[in-house]
Structure 1
Amino acid sequence: MYLNCHTYYSLRYGTFSEIELLKMAKTHGVYYLAVTDINSTTACLNFLKEAKNYDLHPAVGVDFRNGVEQLYVILAKTNMGFQEINTYLSKHLHEKKAFPIEAPELRDTYVVYPFQKILERKTVQLQVHEFIGISLSDLRKLPFSNYRHETKKLVIQQPVSFRNQSDFNAHRLLRTIDLNTLLSKLPTTEQGSISHRMIPITDLRTAYKDFPSLWENTERILSKCKVDFKFDYENENQNQAVYLEDRKADFQFLKKECLRKVRERFPRPTKELYARLDKELEAIRSMDFVSYFLINYDIIRYAKSKNYPYIGRGSGANSLVAYILGITNVDPIELDLYFERFINVYRSSPPDFDIDFGWNDREDITRYIFERFPNTALMGTYVTFQYRAVVRELGKVFGLPKEEIDAFLIGRRLKNPNPDTDEYLKLITKYGKLIHGFPNHLSVHAGGILITKKPISYYTATFMPPKGYQTVQFDMNIAESVGIHKFDILSQTGLPKIKHAIEIIKENQPNAEIKDVENYKQFTRDPNINNLLKTGDCIGVFYVESPAMRVLMTKLRTQDYLNLVAASSIIRPGVSNGGMKNEFILRHRNPERCKQAHPVMMEILHDTYGVMVYQEDVLKVAHKFAGLSLAEADILRRGMRGKVSSKGQFERIEQKFKDNCVKKGYSDQLIEEIWGQVKAFAGYAFAKGHSASYAVESYQSLYLKRYFPLEFMTAVLNNGGGFYNVQTYINEIKNCGGIVEPPCINNSDHPNCIKGKTVYLGFGMIKSLEDRTVQRLLSVRQTSGLFKSLDDFVDRVKISLEQLMLLVRLDAFRFTGLDKHQIAWQAQFKLKATKQDYHAPVLFRTQQKSYALPQFKTNALIDAYDQMELLGYPLVSRFDLLAEQMSSDCLAKDLPSHNKKRIVIYGDLVTAKGTATNDKRLMHFGTFLDKHGDVFDTVHFPNVSEKYPIIAKGIYKITGKVTEEMEYFSLNAEKVEFQTILPDPRQVDEGHKTSGQLADKFIGSPKIINS
C-alpha cells in the first residue's frame, strides 16, 4: 500500500505516467494505491478512470510542497474532500503564496505529515484526521523516537517517484533543467532520494513486521478513501445543468425562441421543416442538451448586442435549431446536412459548437462568460518536452558548448571534438528519448472554456495564467471523459477584416451602397463573385487564399457555393491522403467518370459523386454500405479522430465493418478500397456544416474583395494579413488600381488608411517607431490641426532625434516639398539645439533657426533601401532594383502557351512550402509573382531543392519545364538562381552607413541664415 506516489505531472520531478504507476502496482501486488502529485491534481481523474482496469483500490490527493520541501500529503476521503483539496491548492497557486507548515482543516480528508517534519517541530498536537508518515528509511529512527508509542497515529509513507536508476538519473536531469544550472552543481536538497521506489507488497509487509499497527492504520485510512467519478459512456453530463430555473423552463424557452425566429430564416416554413424542427428539439431535450444550446445562444446574443461578428461552426452547424437561433449561419435544409452527425440518441456528448470571433473581440466575450456563469474555467493543456529541445537543455546541463549540440542535432561531428563529448552525447541521447514527451508546463487551450454544474474545484485544481482566468489542470480528453464538454470560443483575423472593411467603405465612400453581408446567399448567386473562385483570385479572402486552395479551385472550376463547401473539405489531409481529392475533381469535371463508382456508394454519396468528402460520410458509408448501426458508425467516426478510448472498441468495429461487407457480397478488393478511404480520413476531414460555415465567411469576404477591393485589402493589412506577407497584400492593392504611399505626417494614422484610391501606410508599420511617439503625433494633429512644416512639427510634438529620423527616412514630410535629405539636415540641427524635455503650449513661438544647405537629392533606390530597413519591404517593384537585366520576358500568363516546354522566368518569392517525400527528403512548392504582379507556382523536387535552395525573399531566375494538370499550369523547377539587387548608393568605402548618419555624408558646411 502506497499513499504518496508521484507521476510525471509532478513537473520536472516525476518520471512516469499514471498508467505506468498502475502497471507497476499490479506487478508488485499492490491493492491500495494513492496518486499524490506535487501541488497538482492533474493525474487524479485519469488515474481513477484507469484504476478500474487494474483491480486495485485507488485514492487521490496532493503532496503539498514549497519548492521540493515536503510539508504534508492530504488524501481525499470523498468527492467533497477532493473538492476541498482542490480549493485549497488553487487559492495558493492563484496567489503564488507559500503553503503553511501546518495543514488546514479540510472536510473529508486525511493529512499525513512526514516523520522528519514532525521531528523538527517542538510541539505537535495532531487532529483526529492527521497522521505521521513513516518511510522505509525512517524505520531506523522510529524505535528511538518519542512517537514510537503513538500506534494509532503512525502510517506507512513510502514515497514512490522512481522505478529504477534510470528514472532517478532522469529526475536529477529534470531538477537541473528546472533550476537552470549544471548537473555538477545540483544541490542534494533539490533532489528526491533513490530510495523513493516501490517494492513488492510482500517485501513491504516484511519491512514493517515489527510495527503491525502502521500497516493496519494505513490500510484503514486508504480503504476509506472513495472518490468516485463516472467516465466515458457511463458518465453523466457535467456541464451546467439548467439555464433558467429548471429543465422544463429551459425547454419551453428554447422551443419558444425557435418558433419566434423561424420565419426570420424561412419566410415560408413548410410542414417538413416544422417536422425536422420538432425532431431536433425532442432529441435535444431527451439527451439533456437544452442548457448547452441555450448557453451558446446566450453568448451569441451578447455578441450581437455588441455588434461583434462571429462564425458558428463544428458539427452543430448541421442543426436546424442552431441555424434558427443564429448560433450558426448555415442552412442545413439547403445543404441537406446529415442530422445524425449533429446529434443521435447513441452519443453522450453534445454537438460541437466552435464559435469564431474577431481577435479583438474574443477577450470581451471571455470576460462576459466568466461573469455570466458561476462555474467557469479555461481549458488547460500540457506543453511537453520535445526531443530537440530536450537535447539542447541536456547539453546545457552537461556544460557542452552550443556548437557541439548544434552539430549533434544536424548529424555532424566537429573536426576536433572534446574526447569526453561522445560519452556525454550518449547520455543526452538516452535521456533525451526518455524525457521526450514528458509534460513540461501547463498552458491554456486555444479556445476551450468549461461551464460546469458543480464548482470547478469539484473536478480539479486550477492555476492562474497571465490572462487572469482560472484554468483547469487537465486537458480536453479528461474533461470529455468525465462528462465536461467545452465551449470553443476561438479567434481569427478573417471576421474583423469584414467588419473593418465595411467601416472603411462607409468612411471612404459614404454614398456607396453596401449589401447586408449576413445575407450571404445573394453573393453565392453573383457570377462576378464566383468568377473570383474559378480563377483563384482570392488573395486576402479567408480560407481560400492559400496557394493550395487557389490551385484546387482552379482545377475544380469552383464557381458556386456547394463547390466551395466541398473544396473546403477535400483540401484537408484525410481526403487527399486517400486519393479521394483527385477522384472528386475528375468526376466533377467529367460526370461520365462517376460510372466507375460502386452503385451503392454512388447512391449513398450522390452529391459528392460517390466519394467521401465530409466527416458524416463516414457515418453514411458505415451505416448504409457496411450495415453498422448508427451507434457503431459514430464509434467508428470518433475512433478516426482518436476519441475512442475503450480498449479494443475501434478494432471490433473495424472487424464488424469488414465482416458485414463480406455478408453483403462485396469483393475483397472493394472492401479494402472503401475501408482504406474511411481510414484515410483519420480525423482530418471536416463536417459538411463546418465546411459550409467557412464557405459563408469566404463569400462575405469575396463580395467585399470584388466590389470594394481597396477598402477590403486595407482592412486585410490592418488585421494582420493572412497567409502571405505584407508585401504580397501591398502588391494586390496595386493590382486592384490602388496607390500605396509611405507613411505621411498629415495623412497617415496608426493603422493603414485609405483616401480615395490612395492607401497611406500607417505609423504602426514602421519598425522601432514607439507607440508613445505615434500617440503624441496623432493627439497634437487632432487637437491643433495639420502640420505646416518641419518647424511646426518640432514646435508641437515632443520627439527624440532618433524617432524623428525614422519618419524623415520614409519621407513622411514630403508635403513640405523638400528633399528628405534636406529635412534630415534641418532635423539634426533643430533637435540638437532643443534641450527642453516638455513641449508646453506657448502663446508666442520663438522663430526656429534656418540654415543654408547644399542641394541634396534622394532617389528611388535610396528610398527603397530605407523602406526595406524600416518597413521590411520596398514600395517599388523588386524587379526595378535588379543589378542585372533580365534575360527573359516570360510572364505567368505565358505558361499555357509553353506547355511541356523548358522556359526561363523571373519571379519575386511569395512563399515556399517544404514537405517530406516518402524517402524523407525535402521538396518545395513555391509561389512567385512575375514582374506584372501575377502569380505562378513552381515545384522543386528534392534534387533541385538540395542543389538550389530558396535562401531568402527576393527575385529568382527559374529555369524549368511547364506542366499542366486539369488546366492548371505550373513549372517544374530545374535551376533556381537568386538575383542580387543594386547596392545602396550611400554605402561608401569606409563601411556601411545608414540614413540616420546623413549629416556625416554630405560635403558642405551649413550656414545660419537667421535666428
Structure 2
Amino acid sequence: MYLNTHSFYSLRYGTVAPETLLQQAEQLGIPAFALTDINSTSASLEFVRLATKYKIKPVLGVDFRNGVQQQFVMLAKNNEGFYRINTYLSEFLHQEKFVVPKKAKELKDTFVIYPFQSDLRILEENEFIGIKPSDLNQLKFSAWQDHLSKLVILKTVSFGDKKGFNAHRLLRAIDNNTLLSKLPASEQGNHVDVMFPEVLLKEIFKAYPQLIENTQRLLDVCHIVFDFSGNVPKNQKTYTKSEELDFKLLRKLAYKGLHYRYKKIGERVFERLEKELTIIKEKQFVSYFLINWKVLKYARSKGYFYVGRGSGANSLVAYLLRITDVDPIELDLYFERFINLYRANPPDFDIDFSWRDRDDIIQFIFKRFPHTALIAVYNTFKFRASVREIGKVFGLPKEEIDKLSSGQYIQEKLDKMSRLVLVYSKLIQGFPNYLGIHAGGILIAEKPIQYYTATFLPPKGFSTTMFDMHVAEDVGLYKFDVLSQRGLGKIKEAIDIVKYNHPDHPDIDIHDIKRFKEDEKIKHLLRNAKAIGCFYVESPAMRMLLKKLQVDNYIGLVAASSVIRPGVAKSGMMREYILRYRNPSRRKDAHPTMLDIMPETYGVMVYQEDVIKVAHYFGGLTLGEADMLRRGMSGKFRSREEFLKVKNQFFENCKSSGKDDALTAEIWRQIESFAGYAFAKGHSASYAVESYQSLFLKAYYPLEYMVATINNSGGFYRPEYYLHEARMHGGIIHPPDINKSYAQNFIEGKHIYLGFMMLHAFESQNAKKIIRERERNGLFLNLDDFIDRVPIGLEQLILLIKVNAFRFCNPNKRELLWEAYMKVHKIEMEEHIQTLFKSEKVNYKTPVLTSSMLEDAFDEIQYLDFPLCDPFMLLAEPVQTEIFAKDLYQYVGKNVTVYGYYVTVKKTVTSKGDLMYFGTFVDEKGDHIDTVHFPQAARKNLFRGRGIYRLTGKVTEEFDCVTIEVDDMEKLAIVQDPRYAEEKKS
C-alpha cells in the first residue's frame, strides 16, 4: 500500500535509514512497498539487497520534485523500467538548472502517479492520480470520483516517528539557511508522513476498495531483481568483444612482457605466469587486466608517469603488462593475496598519476569505454558540524554554539535549547548530507550505468553515480582506481628542470630502478635518513624509523613503509621488528611456525598478506575464510557476523591443533590490530619504487628536485622548509624578480628565483602579463620601463617592490616605493596601446631614504609567509648556543637546553586520552632536533606557532635515534617590526 516512501537519502528531507524502513515494515506486517527517494536513487540497490533479509518485496522508483513541490512519482515495473527512470532523472541532474515538468515523459515499463492537486485531466494507460488520506474529503466532490480505475493510494512516508519529524524540520531549516521559527510550512512535510500498519491504511480507504485494489495491483506487477552474489562481475565483460580473443591477447601481452622485464627467464616465472593466467580466466577478470593495460598504454604514449599499487602489484601478469613496476618474483609476493579461487572481486589496481595528468586519463577512459562513471561518496553530518548547523537554526548566539561544538560545557548546567541541539545533533549524525566524488574510483560496466543508478554531473563534467563503492561492489561493479599524486608531478618536473639546468648531462632513465637499488649515494641518504622531499619517507616518523633500522636496501625500505603503519605499531610489533632486525639472536624468540611463515620479517606480521598466511597456516583457515579476513582488515567488509564466524573458527582450529590458548589469543590480538591499516606487500613495494626515483633525484640533483617539490605543492612540510633544504645543499635563494621569475619557482645554476605563485595576494593574471611582456619585448630596464609596458595596479606594484622584485635597478626599495606612489596612482588599468614614440615620464626628485635587511625580512614574512634570511637573526636577544643537534648524542641521559626553529608538530592521544606531541625543529646550523612532549609538559608548555623556541629537557636515545623529552619550552621574542617602529616615533 506504500508507493511513496523516503529514506534519509532524500537529502535534508527524509530521516529514516533504508534498513530501518524495512525493519518497521516487517514489524507492521507490510509485505511490499516502494522506495521513492526525492530526486535520488542512492539507496535503491541497498534497499533491494536488504529486502530479502526482511522477507519484503522491494519496489523501486523516484519522487520527482522541484524543491519540495512534488510533480509526480515514477515506479519501475521491472529492471528495464528502473533503467529508464534512472536515465530520465540523470537528464535533469546533468542540467545546470534542475527543473522537472508537470507532465512526465512517456517511459516504457514505468508507472507514473501524479498528486491529487494536479491539473492534469488526460492520463496515459500507465498514469494514475495519487490520493492521500487527507485528500479523501475533496475526492467526494471531484470529477475523479467517476474515474476510480485511475486512482491509487499515495501515502507518503518520510519519518519514523515524531522525533524524526522534528529532525526533518531542522534539516529543512538547514537546507533553507533560515531560523526554525521562520521555516515556511510549504518547505516542510506533514507530521503524519509516517508508516503505520497496512490494516489501518486499508481501513482509512475502506470506502474506496477499488483504490486499494489498484494500489495492490501496481505492487504486484512491479518486480525488481539484482544479483548480489558477487559470483559474476558486472564490469565490462570483454575488451575485444570476444572472451576467447581477450584471453589470447592477454596471454600474448604477458609473454611479450617477459622479454621486456627479464634477462633470464627461469622455470619459476613460467609456472607462476601459467598459474595466474588460468585463475584470471576462470574468475573472468581478463577484461579487467586488459582495460588497465589499455589505459596505461595511452598514458605511456603521452609521456605520463604513473605508479601501479594495490593488491594487483602482487601479480606477475600485471608486472609483465606494465601495470605495475613491482617484480613479484623478486619480492616473493604472495599470489593468493592478489587473487584466489575464493575471491569474488577483482584485485585492486590503484594507479597513481601526476595531478597534472589525471584529468586527461579520466577523459580518455570516458571516451574509450561506453558505460563509464565516477563513484560517489556520501558526505555525512558530523556531530560538531551538526551542532553548529542546528545551533544556528535554533538562533543560539555564536559563543554558545562554540561552547557546545567544542564540548566545553557541563551537561547539568545547559538550558533546554542547548540540550535539544545536542540531542538532535546526535540524531542526525551520520545522515547523508550531500554527494561527493570518490578520490579515484571509476566504474566501467557491461551495461549502461543507469541500469543501476542515476548519475549527476559535478563541476569537472564527469558523470558520477549516486551510490558509493560498497554498493557498487555488492552488485558486482568493481572500481578502477585512477588517483592523483603530487609526488609523480615532482619527479616528472624535476627531470625537465635538470634537462634545462644541466643540458650537458645525459638523459635520466627514471625507470632504471635496479641501478638505483645499488647506488651508494642513495644508500647513504637512506641510512642517514636524509630524505626530505622524497615521497612518504620524508616525514619525521619515517625519518626516525629509518635511523633506527639503518635501512639501506630495497627490501628493508619495503618493510619500513609497512612497519610504520598504525596496525603494526599498535600491536607492539613495530618495536619487536626493530629489535629483531638489529639483534639477530632475538629472532629465536619468534614462534617457529611464525618464523617459518615470515622469515623475511623475522616472524613479525608486517604486511596484509602476512596476516592471511598466519590465518591460513597457523590458524588453519581456508583461503576462502582468509579472504573474508582480508576484506575485514581493509575496511571494505559489510557483514560483521561473517567476520565473527572467521574469528571463532580461528580459535577452534588452534585449539584442536593443540596450540596454547595464550599464544592463540596473542596472535589474534596482533591480527585484529591490522584492521583498516594493513598494507599489502606489493603496495609497499610500489611506494618504495617511487621513493627510489625521488631519492635518486635528491641524491644527484637536490636543488632541481627541491624546486620541483615546491612547484608541485610540496609534501609533508611547508615551502619554507624545502627552501631550507635547498640552502643546505648550496642553493642561493632569491625573492621574486621581474626579470628572472616565472609563475613557478625557477632555477639557474645554483640560484633559485622564487615564482610569483609564492606571493600572497599577487594576482596570477598580473604574473602572466609580466612574463608575456618580458618574452615579447625583452627585459625590463627600470621602474619607468615596467610601468610603461605592464598595466598593473598600484597595490600590486607596491607588493613587487616590497619583496625586492626590482632590486636590479635600485637597491633602495623605499625610494622606488616613493616613485611608484608619485607615478602610478592616477594611471587607469588598461592594456597599453603601443605608440611610435614613448612619452617621457616626469621625474620627481626622490628624497634620500634608507632600507634595511630587517625591513626586507618583515616584508618577506608578510608577503611570502617566511623570511629569506636566517630566522635566528631576527631574535630580539641573540642566543649563546653551546649545544647543537649533532652534539646531542654526547648528552644522553642529561638535561640540556637547545634552540630550535619550529618545523612541524604531530599531535597524538595517549591510551588514557591525554594529549601529547612530537616536535621537529632545526638548530642554527640547520640540523634536525626531534622532541617528545609528554602530557604533563604538553599542558604546561604550549606550541605558539612558528618561531624559535628554547627547549629544555632530557636527552634520550633509542636505537641510535636521539630525542629530547621536553620539560620546559619557551618561544623567544623577535625584534620589533622596523616598518612600524618608525611610524610610532613620528
Contact 1:277 1:321 (C-alpha < 8 Å) held by counterparts: yes
Please state whether the residue corresponding to 2:538 is helix, strand or coil: coil
The total of aligned residue pairs comes to: 984
Native 8 Å contact 1:448 1:488 kept in 2: yes
Greater displacement, 83-92 / 208-217: 208-217
Other-structure match for 1:131: 128
Alignment partners' CA distance in 1, 2:863 and 2:979 = 16
Task: Note the C-alpha offset of 1:515.
Answer: 3.7
Letter in 1 for 2:71: L
**Is 1:318 aligned to residue 317 of structure 2?**
no
Does the 8 Å CA contact 1:543/1:698 hold for their aligned counterparts?
A: yes
Which residue number corresponds to residue 721 of structure 1? 714
Structure 1 residues 204 and 554, CA gap change in structure 2 (3 angstroms)? same
Partner in structure 2 of residue 450 of structure 1: 443
Query: What does residue 681 of structure 1 align with?
Result: 674
Residues 933 and 966, structure 2, Cα contact 8 Å, conserved in 1: yes
Counterparts of 1:168-183 in structure 2, within 5 Å, are 168-183=165-180
- The answer as to 2:169 corresponding to 1:154 is no
Residue 388 (structure 2) pairs with residue 392 (structure 1)? yes
User: Equivalent residues in 2 for 1:426-505 (5 A)?
Assistant: 426-505=419-498
Alignment check: 8 A CA contact 1:570 1:685 kept: no
Q: 1:966 is aligned with what amino acid?
A: F
Deviation digits for residues 880-924 of structure 1 (CA, Å, limit 9, x no counterpart):
100012154321111101101111111111111111122222111
- Paired AA for residue 317 in structure 2: V
Deviation at 1:799, TM superposition (A): 1.6
Distance 1:130 1:527, change over 3 A: same
Separation in 2 of the partners of 1:479 and 1:183?
Answer: 37
Residues 187-206 of structure 1: pairs in structure 2 closer than 5 A: 187-206=184-203
Is the counterpart of residue 338 in structure 1 residue 334 in structure 2?
yes
Contact 1:902 1:962 in 2 (8 A): yes
1:32/1:58 contact within 8 Å kept: yes
Cα distance, 1:649 vs structure 2: 1.1
What is residue 997 of structure 1 aligned with on the other side? none
Picking from 258, 272, 285, the partner of 2:268 is: 272
C-alpha contact (below 8 Å) 1:376/1:452 kept by paired residues: yes
Determine whether 1:375 maps to 2:371: yes
**Which residue pairs with 2:795 in the alignment?**
802
Letter in 2 for 1:814: R
Structure 1 residue 820 and structure 2 residue 796: aligned?
A: no
Does 2:235 align with 1:239?
A: yes
**Alpha-carbon distance in structure 2 between the residues aligned to 1:864 and 1:20:** 62
Q: TM-score, normalised by structure 1?
A: 0.96
Report the equivalent of 1:918.
911
SS at match of 2:537: coil
Question: How has the CA–CA distance of structure 1 residues 822 and 990 changed in structure 2, closer, same or farther, with 3 Å as cutoff?
Answer: closer
Distance 1:499 1:150, change over 3 A: same
Amino acid at match of 1:916: V
Q: Distance in 2 between matches of 1:642 and 1:300?
A: 28
C-alpha displacement of 1:846:
2.3
Separation in structure 1 between the aligned mates of residue 24 and residue 399 of structure 2, nearest angstrom: 40
Hey, what does 2:571 align to over in structure 1?
578
Which blocks of at least 5 consecutive residues in structure 1 are unaligned?
993-1000, 1002-1011
CA distance in 1, matches of 2:515, 2:853: 46
Q: What is the letter of the counterpart of residue 348 of structure 2?
A: D
Q: State the one-letter code of the partner of 2:257.
A: K
Q: Which residue of 1 aligns with 2:219?
A: 222
The whole-number CA distance in structure 2 between the counterparts of 1:849 and 1:440 is 62
**Residue type at the aligned position of 1:351:** P
Question: Contact between 1:330 and 1:693, CA under 8 Å: does it hold in 2?
Answer: yes
**Is structure 2 residue 62 aligned with structure 1 residue 62?**
yes
**In structure 2, distance between residues paired with 1:443 and 1:209:** 45
Tell me the SS of whatever aligns to 1:962: strand
> What is the one-letter code of the residue matched to 2:757?
G
Paired amino acid for 1:125: I
Deviation of 1:830 after TM superposition, in Å, equals: 2.2
Question: How far 1:245 sits from its partner (Å)?
Answer: 2.4
Counterparts of 1:937-948 in structure 2 under 5 Å?
937-948=930-941
Q: Distance in 1 between matches of 2:829 and 2:393?
A: 52
1:411 to partner: Cα distance? 4.1
CA drift of 1:842 comes to 2.6
Kept in 2, the 8 Å contact 1:64–1:72? The answer is: yes
Matched, 1:23 2:23: yes
**2:9 corresponds to which residue?**
9
- The reply to whether residue 79 of structure 1 matches residue 72 of structure 2 is no
SS in 2 for 1:851: coil
* Cα distance in structure 2, aligned partners of 1:942 and 1:358: 40
Letter matched to residue 110 of structure 2 = T
Q: Give the superposition deviation at 1:516.
A: 1.1
* 2:123 partner letter: L
Distance in 1 separating the partners of 2:257 and 2:320: 6
Counterparts of 2:76 and 2:856 in 1: how far apart (Å)? Answer: 70
- 1:750 and 1:547 map into 2 onto residues whose CA distance is 30
CA contact (8 A) 1:57 1:223 kept: no
Q: Where does residue 41 of structure 1 map in the other structure? A: 41
Q: Residues of 2 paired with 1:304 and 1:452: CA distance? A: 24
CA distance in 1, matches of 2:88, 2:962: 65
Matched with 2:113 is: 112
C-alpha distance in 2 between matches for 1:968 and 1:766: 38
Offset of 1:833 from its aligned partner? 5.8
* 1:386-410, Cα deviation, whole Å (9 max, x unpaired): 1111111111101111112112333
Structure 2 Cα separation of the partners of residues 991 and 801 of structure 1: 25
SS in 2 for 1:113: strand
Q: Is contact 2:374-2:465 (8 Å) kept?
A: yes
Encode CA deviations 1:178-215: one digit per residue, 9 max, x unaligned: 00001111110110001111111222232222222222
Task: Please tell me whether the aligned partners of residues 235 and 482 of structure 1 are also in contact (alpha carbons under 8 angstroms).
Answer: no
Supply the distance in 1 between the matched residues of 2:907 and 2:581 (Cα, whole angstroms): 29
Residue pairs, 1:463-862, within 5 angstroms: 463-646=456-639, 648-832=641-825, 834=827, 837-862=830-855
CA distance in 2, matches of 1:247, 1:865: 68
Take 1:412 and 1:265, find their aligned partners in 2: how far apart are those partners? 61
- Is residue 710–residue 722 contact of structure 2 (8 Å, CA) maintained in 1? yes
Aligned equivalents of 1:236 and 1:358: distance in 2? 33
**1:413 shift after superposition:** 6.0
- Residues 647 and 313 of structure 1, relative CA distance in 2, 3 Å threshold: closer
SS where residue 125 of structure 2 aligns? coil
Provide Cα deviations, 1:456-500, integer angstroms capped at 9, x if missing partner.
Answer: 110000111111111100000000010001111001111111111
Shift of 1:638: 0.9
- Distance change in 2, residues 1:845/1:990 (3 Å): closer
Partner AA of 2:213 in structure 1: E
Q: TM-score, normalised by structure 2?
A: 0.98
8 Å CA contact 2:384, 2:406 repeated in 1: no
Amino acid at match of 2:70: Q
1:285 to 1:94, Cα distance in 2 relative to 1, 3 A: same
2:138 counterpart letter in structure 1: K
CA distance in structure 1 between the aligned counterparts of 2:493 and 2:307, rounded to whole angstroms: 16
Contact 1:384 1:441 in 2 (8 A): yes
Q: Is the 8 A contact 1:12 1:440 kept in 2?
A: yes
Alignment deviations for residues 492-544 of structure 1 (CA, whole Å, 9 cap, x no partner): 11111111111111111111234411011111111220121111111100110
1:305 aligned residue (301, 311, 322): 301
Q: How many Å separate the matches in 2 of 1:552 and 1:387?
A: 36
Between the aligned partners of 1:772 and 1:647, the Cα distance in structure 2 is 55
Q: Distance in 2 between matches of 1:839 and 1:210?
A: 82
Report how far residue 272 of structure 1 moved: 2.2
Preserved CA contact (<8 Å) 1:235 1:481: no
Counterpart in 2 of 1:998?
none
Residues 821 and 856 of structure 1 are in contact (CA less than 8 Å); yes or no, is this contact kept in structure 2?
Answer: yes
Uncovered stretches (5+) of structure 2, i.e. residues with no partner: none
1:331 Cα deviation after fit: 0.5
Residue 236 of structure 1 contacts residue 482 of structure 1 at CA under 8 Å; is this kept in 2? no
Please state how far the C-alpha of 1:647 moved relative to its aligned partner.
5.8
* TM-fit CA distance, 1:968: 0.5
2:407 and 2:24 map into 1 onto residues whose CA distance is 37
